Amino acid sequence: MNAFLSFTVIGVVTGAAYAIAASGLVVTYATSGVFNIAQGAIGMVFAYVFWQLVDVWHWNILLATLVVVLVLAPVAGALTEVLFIRRATGQAWYVSMVVTIALFVLLLFLADWAWGANLHAAPSFFGDRGWHLTSKVLVTWHETISILLAGATAVFLRVLLYRTRVGIAMRAVVDNRALAGLNGARPAWLGTFSWALGAGTGALAGILIAPILDNLSVLALTFLIFYAYGAAVLGRLRSLPLTFLGAMVLGLAYSYAVGYLPQNSFFDSIPISGLRESLPVVMLFVVLLVMKQGSIEGSRVRAFRESVDVAPFTRSLVTGVLVVVAMAIAVSFMSVGDVVDVGEGVALGIVVLSLVPLAGWGGQVSLCQMTFAGLGAFAMAHVDGGSFLGLLAAIGLAGVVGAIVALPALRLRGLYLALATFAFAFAMDNMFFPTNVAFTYGGTIHVNRPGIFGLHLASNDSFTVFLTVVFCLLAIGLLALRRGPFGRLLLAMKDSEAACVTLGANLTRTKLAVFALSAAIAGLGGALYGAMITQPGATDFASEQSLPILLLAVVFGMATTSGAFLGGISYSLVSTKVQSLAPGIPNLQWALTGLAGIGITMNPSGTVPYVVRMFKGRFAGQPQAVVDLPATAPAAMSGVAAAGTVAAVTPPSGTAAVPTSA
Amino acid sequence: MPSADAVTPPSAPARAGTALLERRQPPVIELRAVRAAYGRIEVLHGIDLALPAGMVMALLGPNGAGKSTVLKVTSGQLAPTSGCFHVMGRHVNGIAPDALARAGVCTIPEGRAIFPNLTVAENLRIMTYGGSSKREVEERAFARFPRLSERRRQLAGTLSGGEQQMLAMARALSSEPAVLLLDEISMGLAPLVVDNLYSVVSAIAAEGVAILLTEQFARAALAVADRVGLVSQGRVVAEGRPDELPDDLAAAYLGGLQAKGG
Ligand SMILES: Nc1ncnc2c1ncn2[C@@H]1O[C@H](COP(=O)(O)OP(=O)(O)OP(=O)(O)O)[C@@H](O)[C@H]1O
Ligand SMILES: [Mg+2]
């Protein structure tokens, strides 16, 4: 009985912190239309700031709480909105999501740089003191305060959103931004206010939840708050009461799972303890699966159009040959270290390339490409000592798992799909990759380089050229696919799923196919990446690694194959070459991808299309044709210049490009 | 006595002498050679338009002529690419819609100009940004449209089309604007409801509020309009009192309104 009470108390306290973090997410989403994927990172950063104030600078703990929650975090949230989020208003829906992912990556980088080396316990209110629920069950003051604050937050938010004019106006802005402005409300400032509010709640949650961990840790703390996303999704990102309920269920389930699952070798094995660890995330996945279909953000998905014209077959072939030849020449002049860096970049480029058909053409977001890559590397290592068969196994395993993960994708779109894939990645991090079957806990496994057609590919030079060949073949194949009926179907699906269905296209098959295809490419890329670095470990394929991959794809042009190539190589070079210039700053590549991702609002279709258009514009006598369009209709209008034709913006429900074959 | 303060719209009795005032007061809204574009596509190719104080002007014309776009410019939602946009004599190119709204330009845009996921009461609460108190807004809205008060707690999105438009019009009633911009308030509504809405429009006009409205079907609009502007292909092709319009244009654009409108 006492044990049960103890676990219940812990569960309620955890749930309370989840509730606060999740309600911040819901408020930000409901009032600015942006789901802040960085919420977990914001909570983490401010938990560290709190620690800095209390333990290092010896501030009074109450004063520190007030300053962090009411001043620092809201100011940071407001600044974020003004500097970055606001620019995404009116752009394709994925832009604001990419900005928050970039923010997430940047915050991880900053926290790691500032505090990553520290191992310290988080400060808690009144230490271990508390009051006795029963003679054996102690409830600390910190826990009591957490629960009370969750209740207070709930009441505060409820009153704010439904009783005050500013709260009602914040909801009005999401309903109809232009009309809110015509009423005289200031939509821009309301958005800023909602971000301030979201950051404040995130920080409060971070402070309250941090003492659960023995020591502050950048990733562990971020993901602890990330669990709250499950609660927010349970509340349909809209209902605060449901969100609170979801948070409590999550907190209790987590606590009981830790407390009551038996302790023996089976239950302590990595898959089971991993399941326990990732329970909230697994719940998030399940909730997403069973959630009512109609509740999916239909109206928020805006039509957007890519304008990149697809190279004809001969041109893509010639380009491919030129790239391979150039690479062959280049590697012969490079030092061994440089070749390895470039080779890793090309292999990563293949993983980035896997997003081109999926996200660039099909409009489906995935945050688990590195997980597919990890599966590929795993298969490669275990089948036939890494021969050509190993590559096939990598493609097969990743493809099949991709199709399985795609099952929720058949019903999910946009943000929910992103969250589901991220949850999957996170579960794999905990339950599969660290096992001895896979990469072993904290260790690495050996992946042999494959030999093909009697070719000897063991040397770095030849393997790098081989990777380039594989990349080019894949790119040429994908471009051929893009020109065909499947490619047109993908584009139509991105434009409007509803219109596709009305036209009789079978979206189920299309989505399954493109997911499997994308996962298979990522698996292949992962196998080759593993072979390139020869000793991959679980951390190489950890869930957070998928975020820079997505950012790279978007930054360089999600719909272009050349963007994937450049993205992979520059990421690799930044993490080695540029990194060596600043050895004191860890993970510089995260900083740069994060910054580039945040800048995506200025150029949503990516660097490569931008450069191409600039050149075309110059030659056609229309310098920088597309660059200075107003933010309201950039995607739809871009490329019109080059074609010289006139197009109108597709309305959200409007007609999609008609698939010529279904 | 007249034009001591050129900015205030004339009071109701003054409307009798509009012809006189027209010359003395600056127009409350004036567009001079205004061009406007969506992205790269120019839609307005030089609009000249003046809405005199206290007047009701109807913009008529075929689909896609640019009527709604003119209203987007005059409500600040779309900045002109060139030309001048004056409100009460001040040059305000590029002003934000919310600033314009707070300055007394009330716009009811095309479509259902309500917040569907907010209740009727919450919709009315937003209208208080126009300057009136919550009580004033509700009193005026419910006095004119008693149906709304029965449905205070209902989500606005679940109201009937007519009720939604009443809710939208409640803002025109409650915010005591200097200028009112109405875009096709009759769209998709039964004639009876349209008549009801237009009786509200004439009541507001009778208080001396300058009104610029667009309509697809001229009948209702012409019943209240002092002046008519014919818009075609991004230009104002004719402007004047309803009976002044050249017959051929009227016939071409309004489907023989002279005969019907009398
Ligand atoms: N958001 C937009 N983006 C691009 N083009 C637009 C947009 N809105 C309107 N247009 C175009 O501008 C032109 C004028 O449209 P507008 O809505 O002003 O016409 P209208 O006179 O109000 O027509 P209607 O009587 O049908 O309402 C049309 O050709 C239309 O296609
Ligand atoms: Mg119109």
Contacts of residue A354, defined as CB under 8 A and 6 or more positions apart, other chains included, come to A369, A372, A518, A519, A520, A521, A522, A525
Give the C-alpha separation, A483 to A214, whole Å.
Answer: 55
Give the C-alpha separation, B197 to A614, whole Å.
Answer: 52
Among A559, A210, A171, which Cα is nearest to A361's?
Answer: A559
pLDDT of residue A654: 34
Count the neighbouring beta carbons within 10 Å of the beta carbon of residue A295: 11
Query: Which chain B residues have any C-beta within 8 angstroms of a chain A C-beta?
Result: 38-41, 75, 77, 96-98, 101-102, 106-107, 109, 113-118, 122-123, 125-131, 171, 175
Domains in chain A (CATH in brackets) are 18-225 (no CATH), 300-614 (1.10.3470)
Arithmetic mean of pLDDT, B152-181:
92
Determine the residue type at A279. Answer: L
In terms of residue numbers, what domain contains B143?
114-175
Q: Which of B125, B146, B175 is the last residue of a domain?
A: B175
pLDDT of residue A423: 87
Nearest residue by C-alpha to atom 18 in ligand 1: B66
Among B207, B222, B210, which Cα is nearest to B254's?
Answer: B222
Give the C-alpha separation, A210 to A212, whole Å.
Answer: 5
The answer to which of A367-381, A495-509, B92-106, B157-171 has the lowest mean pLDDT is A495-509
Residues B194 and B230 reside in one and the same domain: yes
CB of B233 shorter than 6 A to ligand 1: no
Contacts of residue B39, defined as CB under 8 A and 6 or more positions apart, other chains included, come to A629, A630, A632, A633, A636, A637, A640, A649
Q: Is B197 inside a domain boundary?
A: yes
- Could you tell me how many CB contacts below 8 A there are between chain A and chain B? 89
Residues of chain A with pLDDT under 70: 262-268, 291-309, 384-386, 409, 413, 452-455, 618-662
In sequence order, what E strands does A446-582 have?
Answer: none
For residues B152 and A440, which has the higher predicted lDDT (pLDDT)?
A: B152
Determine the residue type at A114. Answer: A
Residues B92 and B69 reside in one and the same domain: yes
Q: Is B14 inside a domain boundary?
A: no
Which structure tokens are listed for A106? 């940047």
Q: Which numbered atom of ligand 1 lies nearest the CA of A633?
A: 3
pLDDT of residue A266: 63
Residues B68 and B136 reside in one and the same domain: no
Q: Which of B175, B203, B224 is the last residue of a domain?
A: B175
Nearest residue by C-alpha to atom 6 in ligand 1: B38
Contacts of residue B112, defined as CB under 8 A and 6 or more positions apart, other chains included, come to B161, B164, B165, B168
φ, ψ of residue B210 to 5 degrees: the values are -75, 135
Residues B2 and B132 reside in one and the same domain: no
Q: Is B67 inside a domain boundary?
A: yes
Expressed in angstroms and rounded, the spacing between residue A650 Cα and the centre of ligand 2 is 17
Please, are residues A479 and A452 in contact by the beta-carbon 8 Å criterion? Answer: no
CB of B216 shorter than 6 A to ligand 1: yes
What's the N-to-C CA distance of chain A in angstroms?
Answer: 62
Contacts of residue A289, defined as CB under 8 A and 6 or more positions apart, other chains included, come to A407, A408, A411, A420
CB spacing of A180 vs B126 below 8 angstroms: yes
Residues B89 and B158 reside in one and the same domain: no
pLDDT of residue A657: 35
| Least CB–CB distance from B171: residue in A175, A183, A637 | A183
Expressed in angstroms and rounded, the spacing between residue B59 Cα and the centre of ligand 2 is 10
Helix, strand, or coil (residue B60): strand
Among A256, A257, A233, which Cα is nearest to A245's?
Answer: A233
Which structure tokens are listed for A534? 């020869």
Q: Is B187 inside a domain boundary?
A: yes
φ, ψ of residue B214 to 5 degrees: the values are -115, 150
Q: Is B20 inside a domain boundary?
A: no
Residues B209 and B161 reside in one and the same domain: no
CB spacing of B39 vs A172 below 8 angstroms: no
Residue A646 touches chain B, beta carbons under 8 Å: yes
Nearest residue by C-alpha to atom 26 in ligand 1: B63
Q: CA dist A648 to A305, A620, A654, B110, Å?
A: 11, 22, 11, 19
Please, are residues A481 and A487 in contact by the beta-carbon 8 Å criterion? Answer: yes
Please, are residues B97 and B107 in contact by the beta-carbon 8 Å criterion? Answer: yes
Give the C-alpha separation, A518 to A137, whole Å.
Answer: 52
CA distance B38 to chain A (A): 8
Q: Is B63 inside a domain boundary?
A: yes
CB spacing of B98 vs A187 below 8 angstroms: yes
Chain B residues whose beta carbon lies within 8 Å of the beta carbon of residue A649: 38-39
Among B148, B187, B153, B150, which Cα is nearest to B171's?
Answer: B148
Residue B171 β-bridge partners: none
Residues B91 and B128 reside in one and the same domain: no
Our count of domains for chain B comes to 2
Residues B81 and B183 reside in one and the same domain: yes
Domain holding B224: CATH number? 3.40.50.300
Q: Which of B175, B192, B213 is the last residue of a domain?
A: B175
Residues B161 and B82 reside in one and the same domain: no
Q: Is B17 inside a domain boundary?
A: no
Among B183, B204, B158, which Cα is nearest to B59's?
Answer: B183
Q: Using only the alpha carbons of chain A, give its radius of gyration.
A: 25
Residues B99 and B33 reside in one and the same domain: yes
For residues B96 and A494, which has the higher predicted lDDT (pLDDT)?
A: B96
CB spacing of B101 vs A183 below 8 angstroms: yes
Q: Is B192 inside a domain boundary?
A: yes
pLDDT of residue A641: 33
Residues B171 and B48 reside in one and the same domain: no
Residues B42 and B157 reside in one and the same domain: no
